[in-house]
Amino acid sequence: MKSLLAELSKADIIDDPFPHIVARNVLDQDLLDSLLEEFPPLEAFPNNSDASNIRLNLGNAAAMTSEAVSPKWREFLARNADREHLLHFIRVFGDHMKTAVPGASRFLEMAEKLRVGVKHVDGFDTAQVLLSSAIDANTPTSSVPSSVRGPHVDSGAKLWVGLFYLRDELTSEGGDLELYQLKPGHQLAGNVVNGSEIRPECLDLVKTVAYEANTLFIGINSPASIHGVSPRQPTPHPRKFFSFYCDLPGRLF
């Protein structure tokens, strides 16, 4: 089994509004079918709730001991949270990081020698970066359309924004990834509310990545990496996906 990033190249990168790649048909059909068939029931997620359209998360550390997580899923989780996975990201995005992310050059110089751990298994006392991957879902949406997350920027301690879509139904609309940029004359300072949320009125929507099965999104996390999720229409179905990320002990921006 390969990392989701194994087949990506620098030529795949799209610069606008921040360096990212959208790749479709990433997994072979047999593996995709297995992951969809063996997707854990919502009851297996530690934060399961009857609330409408909230994010559920089953990270790899917890998944490895959950009876609801199949061996195939455990292998997939582990394969997308190891050293080789990290080095694939650096191979593809390293040059862009030098210009997009303050402080990235220092990190890249030591990348090959980094002590890599797994979040919630290891700590920064023994590792210099902590990788994680997770099985995720958004709960069914009630009678009122809603967005699970508006425009925001992730923590400056994260290296990338990584998502893989596992859509298995066609009866709902929305839940797409939206990429934004600041309108001319606007800055993040003064427009960030509630920690990392950004006022929509100061943003232009640049691109929409449809919530489609077997679709990968990976992008550099920088001050320009503003993204959110479009509203979902009412549906009895969960929105299924997979996320993966890399945490540093300090912030790059």
pLDDT digits (tens, 9 = 90+) for 88-134: 999 999 999 999 888 888 888 888 888 999 999 999 999 999 999 99
pLDDT digits (tens, 9 = 90+) for 42-98: 999 999 999 999 999 999 999 999 999 999 999 999 999 999 999 999 999 999 999
- Quick check: helix, strand or coil at residue 163? strand
Residue 56 lies in a domain: yes
Read off the pTM: 0.94
Residue 54 lies in a domain: yes
pLDDT over threshold 80, residue 190: no
Residue 170 lies in a domain: yes
Q: How many domains does one find in the chain?
A: 1
Residue 225 lies in a domain: yes
- Print the domain residue range for 101: 13-247
Tell me the pLDDT of the chain averaged across its residues. Answer: 93
Residue 3 lies in a domain: no
Residue 7 lies in a domain: no
Residue 4 lies in a domain: no
pLDDT over threshold 80, residue 193: no
CATH number at residue 176: 2.60.120
Provide the pLDDT for residue 172: 76
Residue 148 lies in a domain: yes
As a whole number of Å, the CA-based R_g of the chain is 18
Provide the pLDDT for residue 135: 98
